[in-house]
Amino acid sequence: MTVDDITRIAVVGAGLMGHGIAQEFAVAGYEVQLHDQSADVLGHAIGRIEGNLELLVGLGMVGQDQFGPALSRIRATASLGEAVAEADLVVEAVFEDLGLKQRLLADLDRLCAPRAILASNTSTFLPSTLAAATRRPDKVLVAHYFNPPHLLPLVELVRGEATSDETVTTVCDLLVRIGKRPVLVQKEVPGFIGNRLLVALFREALALVEQGIATPEDVDAVVTHGFGRRFGAAGPFALWELAGLDLIGEVMARLLPEIADGHEVSPLLTDRVARGEFGVKAGKGFYDWTPEAAEALRRRIAAALVAVARWSAPA
């Protein structure tokens, strides 16, 4: 199978990530079946897609003439068999539970046509572990999108031991065709690339607050008003070479013995979770959240990501 053979796409799981993934393919002209077991979740997903498209139209990233056609290409269904029967590619975006994903992959393997590629949006589980639940390990891989998927172009492609070159090339070519920026994770490793980097940063951020060195507000300010702005233009290796690897080596030699290196999750985080202080969805975390404050943050992030996309796009 090549990218030209992919015409029908199914997205299984219409929650946080699934609705945005479906939206991306629909805007790019693909017919998409969006599945979830809950009719309420499906209805909410279509509403969120409409809101996303309205935002993108307002920001000039999607034409007004694309709004209606994109929505018409998405068909929501609570029937898994109906959603995937004719799919050339299925993207799994259900809750991050290994048993759930393995059972779903087994069902997809039974319900899908033999040609269909099965891609998981997991952020942690290895593709070979998921592929073991199927009879088509050569057609299984991870396609890990970042949130929000309709605004962040990166997709990590992770191949399992049995994933074929054809499968990797086909999915990579498809993502490029719809405007994404795929990267290939060469070896299976938990957390892949992005989440390993993020967890390392968050571990140190928690340690700084736990030790009374800084408040969460000031840690966030250091990132958003400091080095975080540079990362919109260049990654760590390029920035390190701009500063000089000799200087970076000296800084690392001084700081590595001092920074957090624990293997347990900080009590600063686990205690909040135990109290039900999950963040935006609970109205409280390290910050207090109202629905209006959460929506304002989402819109500020969206506007910033669109601005970055505009000036960082290749000429």
Give dist(CA 146, CA 186) in Å, integer.
19
195 is catalytic: yes
Pick the closest to residue 13 from 149, 131, 137 (CA basis): 149
Structure tokens at 186: 């060469």
52 is catalytic: no
Residue 225: active-site member = no
Measured at the CA of 225, the angle between CA 238 and CA 154, to 5 degrees, comes to 50
Residue 258 Cα distances to 28, 99, 255, 265, angstroms: 48, 39, 5, 18
Residue 144 annotated to the active site: yes
User: 74-77 and 117-120 as β-strands: parallel, antiparallel, unpaired?
Assistant: unpaired
Catalytic residue (choose from 19, 35, 144, 150) = 144
Element (H, E) at 293: helix 291-312
Cα–Cα dist 305/278, whole Å:
24
Among candidate residues 50, 82, 195, 266, the one labeled active-site is 195
Active-site option among 52, 120, 121, 123: 123
Please give the positions annotated as active site: 123, 144, 156, 195
